[in-house]
A and B are shown apart, each in its own frame.
Chain A
Amino acid sequence: MNKMVLEAGDTAFVLICTAMVMLMTPAVGLFYGGMVRNKNIISMIALSFISLAIVTIQWVTIGYTLSFGHDIGGLIGGLDYIGLKGVGMDGDGIPDILFMAFQLVFAAIALAILTSGVAERIKLSSFIVFGLLWTTLVYDPLAHWAWGGGWAHSMGALDFAGGTVVHISSGFGALALSFVIGKRIGFGKYSMEPENITTTLLGGALLWFGWFAFNAGSALAADGLAANAFVVTLISAASGALTWMGASWIKGKPSSLGMISGAIAGLVAITPACGFVGPLESIIIGGSAGILCYGTLLFRIHKKFDESLDAWAIHGVGGLFGALATGVFAVAAIGGVDGLIYGNVGQFIIQGIDAFVAVGYSFVMTYILAKIIDKTIGLRVTEEEEYVGLDVAQHGESMEL
């Protein structure tokens, strides 16, 4: 880390990875859009694009410096890079400005994932205000803790590609948000089946594609570590797809939605671990995540939580599991750190502390922010708007099917 020269191969890699991760944000929109009733499909996809747009502006003005500015008390970054001041075209291996962009697209997707909790009932204007606050007050601190020199980083917590920062934050945030905004009208009484599964599968395919960039790109270099991250990502996704499908097959028919949800669960769980574990561990991690997240989904339905599109079950619980699994399965030969099964109890405890603090922080802060928005400008559309659907009510548009 003391060469100050650009490496074209690494730069090429991270440039393309950044574009691929950017594509994941609309992909979240497609993935979610296929799962809502047709009257809300445009709204659901648009929320992802809007997440990308507002987080982009937030990040280049204030977000990047809050996350990666000089550390203040382990908690937040200073304002050194405000408005990207001093973030230039040169850098160490890759251009600084590229590192900034790579981090930006992570922040964008976190917000997009969060929309699961408010699907089919959020007021667009309130979402924009909420989104800016959430990124600033929830995401940015978490990014700083893990990657910007904050306390978690100092403590030695491992989060290779953002299991804690991106997935725990958005998953548990979505749960909090769903509690504040309340259930959809008719939830549990009306049928609210996914109406456009091919759109969800398309979104899932693009997510899977982009996830290679998300995980392998986090090596920030085109090297063996990136290749390892790539491979375990692929394996974990496959493993999760098969176990979720298998588990649901026992109860009924194996839906394609279960299969793709399992793949996403596997992808989430391997995210923090992908720089620290090898292929065989990734079969276990992905496979366990598939079953665990499927169980969490059943639990959510049983509890009648309307965390509508299961960001909590998949990203929240999957991310939490991944953080702990990293502490269990880490292999020193790959990422330099051993996990619990190699006797390193300390690392497991560190992972636990890191993950549960993130769970608590993101749940509580999201809850508070959502409450404030709800009490002031109102989070939710009116009953009539919900009835006609957000496509028409919020965007004045509809699909002609």
Chain B
Amino acid sequence: MSTRSKDEIAAAIARDIAATHPDGAYVNLGIGQPTLVADHLPPGSGVVLHTENGMLNMGPAAHGDDIDPDLINAGKVPVTELSGASYFHHADSFAMMRGGHLDVCVLGAFQVSAAGDLANWHTGAPGAIPAVGGAMDLAIGAKRVWVMMTLFDKQGAPKIVPECTYPLTGLGCIDRVYTDQGTFEVGAAGVRALELCGISAGELAARLAPLTPSVA
């Protein structure tokens, strides 16, 4: 049993977005790994990508002559414009996010708590320069906020935890966590594995203890 690659996780998220929103969804993909999801959206999914620096219907990354320094995404990567795009200023863009108009937002995370709290902006380490960007707005604003991360950190410690030990980004804001070792729901009912990949239910329970994940 092998774990899922980042591409496989991104494909799973893309599939679930398309399944949940058959008529198309408005989606924000956080900077870093979540941007991979765009590459896996099925043709005709009708998904419209939002970038918080003021654009809807963002296209793929720009290359060569298509690069325009005035057209970048939230990660400051040059991107392209799809047909039906629109531009708006930052207050309007964040009003859109904070007002609950995005269907799905996918974020990276350091930790997610069983109750759905998110920690993804700051390690709290001494000397670290804090930088939050739009993470707190996205965390509380989208209709569904999903996380894409590895289930364990480099030291092997679980990133789904009883309580976040890193500084919080938002309280009770996460619906679902896509990881290399499976997909999980978190929230009031605790942790529930929707599917496992590369880990047995027994090992999962042992490594996430004292959490007691249920397995669908």
Q: Do these two chains interact?
A: no
Chain A positions near chain B (C-beta within 8 angstroms): none
Chain B positions near chain A (C-beta within 8 angstroms): none
